[in-house]
């Protein structure tokens, strides 16, 4: 996972740390269990797969951030 963070930082000019790794691991776990992601992977070459799941991954990230906020601040959820 550290390699992925390094590549993201280099490619997109981000400053992700190893602490961010947990967030990415949670997104990965959600994605590998998602039937739409699985079907997209089975039906497409890698480049089409990456394009096909972009919106799904974004949705997983937004949902995870929302879950975290509700866990930390339940009165403001």
Model confidence over 8-49: pLDDT tens digits? 889 889 898 887 888 888 999 999 999 999 999 999 999 999
Q: What pLDDT is attached to residue 33?
A: 96
Provide the strand spans (E) within 1-77: none
CA 67 to chain CA mean position, Å = 14
Vertex 13: Cα angle to 15 and 44 (nearest 5): 105
Q: How confident is the model at residue 76 (pLDDT cuts 50, 70, 90)?
A: low
């Amino acid at each position: 996972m550290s390699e992925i963070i390094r590549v993201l930082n280099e490619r997109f000019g981000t400053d992700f740390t190893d602490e961010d790794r947990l967030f990415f691991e949670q997104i990965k776990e959600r994605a590998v269990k998602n039937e739409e992601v699985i079907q997209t992977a089975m039906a497409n070459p890698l480049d089409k797969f990456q394009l096909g799941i972009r919106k799904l991954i974004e949705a997983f990230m937004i949902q995870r951030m929302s879950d975290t906020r509700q866990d930390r601040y339940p009165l403001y959820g």
